[in-house]
Amino acid sequence: MAEAHQAVAFQFTITPEGIDLRLSYQALFQIYLSGLRSWKKRISRMRNRVIKGVYPASPSSWLFVVIAILATMYMRSDPSMGLIAKIQEHLPISLSLSVQGQTMLSVLVFSTLLWLSLILTLRFCLKLLLSYHRWMFEQHGHISTTTKVWVTLVRLLSGRKPLLYSYQTSLPCLPVPPIKDTLERYLESVRPLLSGPGFQRMTVLAAQFENSLGNRLQRYLKLKALWATNYVSDWWEEYIYLRGRGPIMVNSNYYGMDFLYVTPTPIQAARAGNTITALLLYRRKVNSEQLTPSRVPGTVIPLCAAQCERMFNTTRTPGEETDLLQHWQDSEFVAVYHRGRYFRLWVYKAGRLLSPREIEYQIQRILDDPSPPGPGEDRLGALTAGDRVPWCAVRKQYFSSGVNKRSLDCIERAAFFVTLDDEEQGMMGEDPVGNLDRYAKSLLHGKCYDRWFDKSFSVVVYKNGKNGLNAEHSWADAPTVAHLWEFTLATDAFQLGYTEDGHCKGEVERSLPPPQRLTWDIPVEVQEQVSISLSVAQALADDVDCHVFPFRDFGKGRIKKLKISPDAFIQLALQLAYYRDRKTFCLTYEASMTRLFREGRTETVRSCSTEGCAFVKAVESGEGPEHCRRLFRLAAEKHQNLYRLAMTGSGIDRHLFCLYVVSKYLGVESPFLTEVLSEPWRLSTSQTPVQQLELFDMKNHPDFISLGGGFGPVADDGYGVSYIIVGEDMINYHVSCKHSFSETDSHRFGAQISRALLDLLSVLTPAKTENPQAQDKKQQ
């Protein structure tokens, strides 16, 4: 906006009498206000750097140390043991100061050094405390004295209200597990999936790897762990995400949904106004670091917040061999797509965030704009949905200068991307189940050209007021985006709200300039590539089979009464469902976080265990209830232990992945690593955590239930399953697979999941206790 103001801030003409200069004081004032906002943000960032730089101490503690040293000096005691006198002797300006001044300056220097030493000591102690993970392996209700003391010390050292990034320098680094332990855990994980000869062959390969190449690769990995903040994250981001040359739509990006039962307003522009405002309020909290750091639920243990840094003003740009994540410090506008046209919508005026009503007013202007798309403009977004190399070539040749570069910069530098969709979505009409499935597919891929899949996230607002988002995966994992989306939904519905007629609250300044229509010069060659990318993306989108369903028979409340982990219960139900669906077991991926460590991302929990398979076979063969319950307890405890190991840095797959990367750098081949990393994950699962329960009033507003989100299948012949545990009595599932593989069906697998959940509850409930469905019928 400042650029536009500068263009009209002053005008001059050359006359015979000289130069006639005319100033626009109003424009200059607007420039002044915009600059003032920028300087306030700079000062705020400097202030936050100081506060988090001295955490767990406070800046005011420096004054306390100085006063304490001065007080002891006044009492004729030298706490420095002669250091103050030594400092005084070496002061370069000693001749220009009095003796008293020299002493005071020496005290200040010593106090500052002492204060910095105390800060480093406190930070080191906090880092040691946060490296303790035995608490996670202790049974619920049986906490050791060591853990109790540890909790007390952590509370003492982290008692001050921290900023978002205050804990970053105190978080431990991810440790490299012993290669022997990783190989033992790997072999244990594949034991139920391999035949006797197959398992023997893998055992031999693992032993050969450990005794030859493995230890050499391990040494390089340990060297990296000493040097880097996290020995996994940079390689994981580059090789798993950014180096992928296929479409990121469906294969990498994921989605998040609106409320299940409620649409706060049916007015599209109003919902967009509140949604955009809520997202920008979250960005303000991130930028000012006023967002409370995430913690392990029910504890004081902080989680790494590094993923928040690239949440806004970020885009993924294509490259020939690898893509690049670009992040800008700030952006005062969002990019909007509607009916094949792109707009730049300024959301600040003179340093002031527009009100929700003003943003609604601007969105309505876009909706009412009758102008048609330019040649080749309407489907331009398909370039981000297709293969990456052609998009890179087109971008480099046709979008590196001129009007195309200026318009592309507006999209890529925007805070985020907004699509105003002409369709209506949600659980509605005569076919609510089918409509939920279509809603999921719309958010996952849309029309393949009406989203900008390269943006860190794109918000979709539908014609009937429903919304959702599509997120690019390389910059962050689902829990980070889920935290943002929870805040957005809660702020939209409970904080900002709507008027009785469904419009946003607030006043409108009618003098707001209209949203800026982006212009393009799309040659025939680009249009041809757009058509090719669209055909690739459309084939991928048509192949995805999605099924979303809420499971309402019971939830975590009923499961926890049985003293069982809800996640273990759900994962074992998935194993039972898959066995019934495909008559076999498969390598199963469950995403676990490693954010207990600095810059941690995810680790794999291999949920298909020997104990779990034994339980499933016992249920299917009709074994007695007591025997099945005993096997279930063993399988659930095994799963919980695997999850804890993954969270605390002792997982399997990230370690083996990094060893594989090192082998490629060294130019050596490992038959063992090649085979391990080529194994398909035919069942890929992930739980979307509810992290901010305090934002939702489930007692007074029980209908405001989140649907969670989902992702596409990882393997062509497998399933992708995402689930969210909502409240005490509901679990929402998102199931995906591909039509092209005839043996998978998302609806059939969804039915198997529901059946497995009910069967597990029946097995675990003693015979004297009636089934909850039977109790409900009696009450009715």
Helical segments of 648-771, H only:
653-666, 671-677, 746-764
Beta strands in 43-169 (DSSP E): none
3-class SS at 685?
A: strand
Distance between CA atoms of 620 and 102, rounded to whole angstroms?
85
Residue 498, token pair as written in the block: 């709507």
433, 395 contact by CB (below 8 A): no
Q: Active site includes 503?
A: no
Q: What are phi and psi of 245, to 5 degrees?
A: -100, -5
Neighbours of 466 (CB within 10 A): 26
3-state helix, strand, coil in the chain (%, to 5): 50, 15, 35
DSSP character at residue 236: I
Residues whose CB falls within 8 Å of the CB of residue 40, separated by 6 or more in sequence, listed in order: 351
Residues whose CB falls within 8 Å of the CB of residue 224, separated by 6 or more in sequence, listed in order: 231, 658
654, 175 contact by CB (below 8 A): no
CA 185-188-190 angle, to 5 degrees, is: 115
Distance between CA atoms of 293 and 304, rounded to whole angstroms?
8
Can you name the residues that pair with 732 across neighbouring β-strands? 550, 724
656, 182 contact by CB (below 8 A): yes
What is the dihedral angle through the alpha carbons of 502, 508, 512, 516, rounded to the nearest 10 degrees? -10
Beta strands 352-353 and 333-338: pairing type? Answer: unpaired
Residue 202, token pair as written in the block: 């893998």
Distance between CA atoms of 622 and 619, rounded to whole angstroms?
5
In angstroms, the Cα distances linking 439 to 139, 258, 269, 453, 460 are 42, 10, 19, 17, 11
Residue 737, token pair as written in the block: 């697979």
Residue 605, token pair as written in the block: 């929990």
543, 739 contact by CB (below 8 A): yes
| Spacing of C-alpha 366 from chain mean position | 30
Closest residue by Cα to residue 692 from 451, 479, 439? 479
Residue 752, token pair as written in the block: 């198997």
3-class DSSP string for 383-446: HHCCCHHHHHHHHHHHCCCHHHHHHHHHHHCCCCEEEECCCCCCCCCCCHHHHHHHHHHHHHHC
Block residue for tokens 């976080």? 593
Can you name the residues that pair with 255 across neighbouring β-strands? 470, 710
Q: What are phi and psi of 739, to 5 degrees?
A: -65, -30
DSSP string, 461-510: E-TTS-EEEEE-SSS--HHHHHHHHHHHHHIIIIII-B-TTSPBSS---T
What is the dihedral angle through the alpha carbons of 30, 35, 36, 41, rounded to the nearest 10 degrees? 140
Distance between CA atoms of 745 and 718, rounded to whole angstroms?
10
Determine the length of the chain: 780
Q: Is 351 left (phi over 0), alpha (psi -120 to 50) or beta?
A: left
Distance between CA atoms of 209 and 216, rounded to whole angstroms?
10
User: Looking at 473, 483, 639, 655, which residue is catalytic?
Assistant: 473
Residues whose CB falls within 8 Å of the CB of residue 292, separated by 6 or more in sequence, listed in order: 164
Residues annotated as part of the active site: 473
